[in-house]
Each structure stands twice: as structure tokens, then as C-alpha cells.
Chain A
Amino acid sequence: MISVENITKSFNDVEILKGISTEFEKGKTNLIIGQSGSGKTVFLKCLLGLFEINTGTISFEDKKLKEMTGKDRTILRQEMGMVFQGSALFDSMTVEENIMFPMQMFTKKADSEIRDRANIAIKRVNLINANTKFPDEISGGMKKRVAIARAIVMNPKYLFCDEPNSGLDPKTAILIDNLIQEITAEFKITTVINTHDMNSVMEIGEKIIFLKNGQKAWEGSNKDIFQTDNQVVSDFVYSSDLFKKVREVYLKN
């Protein structure tokens, strides 16, 4: 579980995050949603420790991030997996090498064992005949799968995803969403997803946090979001006619 208490973050005296508090639960897909510029990416990077927060606390299983030594942080980072918006695969490595990389870096396992574990991860994300291909030889959806495989290969406690289905066709986007949800439940991972995609909100949003102007404006599940009377959330989620109709049908039933 990740606990966030009253965190603030500023850049050049401009406050981006203004006192956010929440909890991300283990074994659930936790979604952060909000308009562009609402502070979602900064929030995610604060959770990852890529940005230092100004005030407040972020705790991983009761261990405060601010109080961790460099060594503790290194250990924590090895318990994290991250799927970047653009996949962030290493261009000079093949698919298999990309997935093997974290294990080669941080474990003392033999190469054969590392390769076996990488292949288990490759199978888990349903990648077929891609082991020897380079990132520029595979599709966007396959890249996301490789990124997910790389993120889970070390059996992380925490999985972070930044816009995991951006740039993907709707069918592939749903597959990726479902894959993340399955992996989260299967390995009891605390998953935090930063997304704009309303399909993801409806499909896999077991816990949703809505950010507006750097503040938490709403919190609930994908079921709650159909019934909310919060105007700001409704304006954002149901901005399209399609979703308005989906909501009407849901509420009628």
C-alpha cells in the first residue's frame, strides 16, 4: 500500500500539487485522472521519487520516502516497475535483452535462469516471436507489452503506468488494460495508473482519484463515478455524448 499525506510540490514558486492525500491499495488498479496540466504526471513522478516533494509524506508500507537513505531508496526502486507513456524501451537492446536488463543489473542469477524468467514474463504478456526483435521493429501495442513484461519481471510490489494505452487502437488498449488488471490481481501488486482514457476508467478503475489544478477533487471507484453528483468530475468524465448515454443506461438499469 502507498499512503500519501498532504503533499505539495512547486516548481519556481508555482505550486503544482496542493496538499494531496490518498491511499493506493494493494492488489487494486488505482487510477489518477484529470485534465492536462492538472498535475497527474508530477504526482506520479513524486510517487516514483523522481521529484522531491516540498511538504507532506509519501509512505510505502509505513516506510516514509523522505526518511529513506540512498540504499533504502535503491532497494525500494527495485520493488517498483514502471510502464512509461512511450514505453521507454532501450533502443540498442532486443526485446528479450530489455526484459532481462533489470535482473542482470540487480541480481546475481545465472544468465540461463535470467533468460528463463524473462521468457516467463514474455509469455505472461502474450508476446509471440518477438524475442530477437529490436524496439523499432515491433508495433506500439507490442512495445507496451514488452514494457509491462520488463516492469513485472522483478516481481515488483508497486507498478506505475503513465498513460499505458495512449496511441493504441481501442482493441489493443482494452487488451493492455485487462493485462494490467490481471497482473495486479495475480501478483497482488499496488498498481497506480495515470490515464486520460475513459474506457480505462470504466473498465479497470477499482479506485479513481480525480485531480484538478493540483488538488484532489474526487475519489471513488468506477461504480461510484456513474452515480457521482460532483459536477467537476461529471463535466470531465461525461464530456462526450457517448459516455453521457452510457451513464444514462447504467443508471436506468
Chain B
Amino acid sequence: MLKLTFGKFTKWKILKQLILKDIDSLIIGSLGIVSFISFFVGGVVAIQTALNLENPLLPKNLIGFATRQSIILEFAPTFISIIMAGKVGSYITSSIGTMRVTEQIDALEVMGVNTHNYLIFPKIVSLSLYPLIISISMFLGVFGGYIASVYGGFSSSVDFVEGIQLDFIPFHITYAFIKTLFFSFILATIPSYHGYYMNGGALEVGKASTVSFVWTSVVIILLNYLITQLLLT
């Protein structure tokens, strides 16, 4: 599938429109839900951390520290990707699957269009902007944690900001973005595969979307483990 996706290219004028359309639906269209989830989960992480710091000897800046580490290392890159596997992955599988069921892919084939390149390549390109979503998620997650801990009375603003800066390792950001790039490729290709190669009718489109979500999530989790093992140990 990948060989065909990067084979015989569609006319640039058309490909450009498809990429812009996919950026709009896959990236811009996901900003709302990602922002909402990141902000509130960031807040919850901060509250949970604060409630577990019962020992008065533990400094309050640990709340900011723990929030930053949880959000940057795992929540933003990995768990947002699982959420995206549900949102974006299902959308990709069902849209390509519906094209298969309604013979739109056959119509493109008959015209002589390289359907792999036409349908899948724009999704891979547009999802290469996925790290942008993750950086917004990181910022909003930490910001949510700040709001929850400061306005919830769990720590002072100074303590939280000090915690965010505590023992900061810039490579953690690099590690998170490396993961994100791999996940963006997974998010574009596995759902496309399940949509493109599905058989049957409307019911099978639904089944293909579910199967695609499961496999995308499984691969993301396994890849997350592998990349963490390779880069952080």
C-alpha cells in the first residue's frame, strides 16, 4: 500500500487542494476537542497530585513538576493520539470505506487515477502537522494544571511556575515530538488501510472503523513503549 501511495503522483494542483481540505478536517477540526480535553485533564492531574502530597515536608512546587512531566511525556503525545485514533482515525476509515462501498474508488481507478496516492498521501502530509496539535495540547494541559492548582488553592502561582521549571530536560520535548511524528504516520496509514481494503456495505464501514481504532491504538501503545525504551533508557 505504501509503495503505491508514494508511486505515480496525482497532479499537484489537485493534490494541493486535497491536502488543504485534509488539514482543515483532520488538524483544524481536531483543535477544539484536543484543547478542551487537554485543559481539563491538566487540571485534574494537578488536583490529583496536590491531594496526594500529604507529607508537609514535600514542596508544593511538586504539583507543577508532576503536571509538566505527565503532560509532556505521556498525556499530550500518547493519550491525545489515542483520542485522535478515535476521532481522526474513524473519520479516515469511514470516509475512504464509504468511497469503496459506493464505487467511488472504482470510478477513480477506471479514470486511471492512482487511488492510493490520491486518497492516502494527502492524509499523511496533512497529519505531519499533527505535532502542532500536540504542542497546543502541552501548553493547555500545563495551563489547565496551573489554573486548577492556583485557583483551587492547592499551590501558589510562584510554586507552580517554579515546579514547571524544576529539573527541566529539553530532550523530553524532543522525545515527545519524535513520538508524535511516528504516531501521526500511524494515524494516517492504519485507518486508511482499513478503509481502502474493506469489503461489503454500510455495516462493514462501521465495523472497519472500530477495527481501525483498535489497531491504531494498539500500534500507538506498542510504539510508545518501544520509542520510550530506545530514547529514554
Measured as residues with beta carbon below 8 angstroms from the partner, the interface class of chain A is 20 to 34
B112 pairs with A77, CB closer than 8 A: yes
Number of A-B residue pairs at CB separation under 8 A: 52
Of the stretches A17-25, A58-66, A99-107, A172-180, the one at the interface is A99-107
B111 pairs with A78, CB closer than 8 A: yes
Contact of B113 with A by CB under 8 A: yes
A104 pairs with B111, CB closer than 8 A: no
Contact of A220 with B by CB under 8 A: no
A104 pairs with B109, CB closer than 8 A: no
Closest to A85 in B: B103
Closest to A79 in B: B112
Given A80-B111, A85-B103, A104-B14, 4 new contacts (CB under 8 A): A86-B102, A90-B107, A101-B111, A104-B11
Contact of B104 with A by CB under 8 A: yes
Cα–Cα distance between A91 and B102 once the two chains are bound (Å): 10
> Which B82-117 residues sit within 8 Å CB-CB of chain A?
98-99, 102-104, 106-107, 109-113
Cα–Cα distance between A90 and B99 once the two chains are bound (Å): 8
Which chain B positions have C-beta within 8 A of A101? 111
Which chain B positions have C-beta within 8 A of A91? 98-99, 102, 104
- Output the residue of B21, B98, B110 with the most chain A CB within 10 A: B110
Closest to B112 in A: A77
Contact among A70, A76, A78, A84 with B106 in the assembled complex (CB-CB below 8 Å): A84
Give min CB distance, A42 to chain B, whole Å.
13
Measured as residues with beta carbon below 8 angstroms from the partner, the interface class of chain B is 10 to 19
Contact of B13 with A by CB under 8 A: yes
- State the 9 A-B residue pairs at the shortest beta-carbon distance, nearest first: A77-B112, A88-B103, A88-B107, A74-B112, A82-B110, A84-B103, A88-B104, A78-B112, A102-B111
> Which A84-135 residues sit within 8 Å CB-CB of chain B?
84-86, 88-92, 101-102, 104-106
Give min CB distance, A166 to chain B, whole Å.
13
Give min CB distance, B233 to chain A, whole Å.
46
- Output the residue of A48, A82, A92, A105 with the most chain B CB within 10 A: A105
B109 pairs with A90, CB closer than 8 A: no
Contact of A14 with B by CB under 8 A: no
Closest to A74 in B: B112
Closest to B111 in A: A102
Chain B interface main SS type: helix
> Which B18-44 residues sit within 8 Å CB-CB of chain A?
21
> Which A214-251 residues sit within 8 Å CB-CB of chain B?
none
Contact of A188 with B by CB under 8 A: no
Which chain A positions have C-beta within 8 A of B104? 88-91
A77 in contact with B107 given A86-B102, A104-B14 (CB within 8 Å): no
A73 in contact with B112 given A88-B102, A104-B13, A105-B11 (CB within 8 Å): yes
Contact among A70, A75, A80 with B110 in the assembled complex (CB-CB below 8 Å): A80
Which chain A positions have C-beta within 8 A of B13? 104
Contact among B11, B14, B102, B111 with A77 in the assembled complex (CB-CB below 8 Å): B111
A105 pairs with B113, CB closer than 8 A: yes
Give min CB distance, B120 to chain A, whole Å.
16
Cα–Cα distance between A168 and B109 once the two chains are bound (Å): 26
Which chain A positions have C-beta within 8 A of B109? 50, 77
A105 pairs with B103, CB closer than 8 A: no
Cα–Cα distance between A92 and B17 once the two chains are bound (Å): 12
Cα–Cα distance between A228 and B104 once the two chains are bound (Å): 39
Cα–Cα distance between A89 and B108 once the two chains are bound (Å): 10
Which chain A positions have C-beta within 8 A of B102? 86, 88, 91
Cα–Cα distance between A48 and B106 once the two chains are bound (Å): 10
Give min CB distance, B89 to chain A, whole Å.
19
> Which A158-205 residues sit within 8 Å CB-CB of chain B?
160
